[in-house]
Amino acid sequence: MRRGLRAVVVTALVSATASFAVPVATPSLAPAASAWTEAPEDYAAYEPEDGCRTRPLPGTGELASWIDRAFTGGAARATMRTCSSSSSEHQDGRAIDWTMDADKRAQRREVARFLAKVFAEDPDGNRHALARRMGVMYVIWNDRIYASYRTFEARDYLSSSCRSVERCSKTLRHRDHVHLSLSQRGGRGLTSWYVEGS
């Protein structure tokens, strides 16, 4: 008799506990759906400067501001240079210089975090998705260049002003700043990162 009563009580308690159980969310292993309406732009071709401007293009300024907000370290600026015989995207408003020091571990890590973010594969399997959406044409940092027209494969970089790395200044080696050049559409803010919201 007591065994039967005990079984009824236990069953009732289990049922009551189950009815008040709080569901536990289990994380999905599936990648998040893409927030973009279109696939990333094609890799930008090399586009040399197309003239002289007195101020940065709007997309260049917007990307520099985003870097300042999203990453620590030195300032990122859409910088201009007066026109000269040499070709530079600084002269037509499509270049950013981000002050970072390759001799400082924390700043090297922050640049690595930036590169990992913009070169990451998106949930749809598109490589270098964010850099393509931003219209990044190339990045130079710490004796390396990452060019869109070479699918951002890291390559050794030596300024045309230097005969060797040993005789090259820290600035020309891009060890005291990160340089970014944008495509014409990226500089103008016409690629998807700017249009669909950064």
pTM (two decimals): 0.81
- Tens digit of each residue's pLDDT, the chain (198 residues): 444 444 444 444 444 433 333 333 333 333 345 689 999 999 999 999 888 898 999 999 999 999 999 999 999 999 988 887 677 899 999 999 999 999 999 999 999 999 999 999 999 999 999 999 999 999 999 999 999 999 999 999 999 999 999 999 999 999 999 999 999 999 999 999 999 976
Task: Kindly state the tokens that stand for 89.
Answer: 């995207």
CA nearest neighbour of 147 among 16, 44, 69, 17? 44
Q: Output the CA torsion sign for 78, 189, 174, 65.
A: positive
CA nearest neighbour of 60 among 43, 73, 77, 44? 77
Phi then psi dihedrals of residue 87, to 5 deg: -95, 135
Q: How do the domains of the chain map onto residue ranges? A: 40-195
Kind of pairing between the strands at 178-182 and 95-98: antiparallel
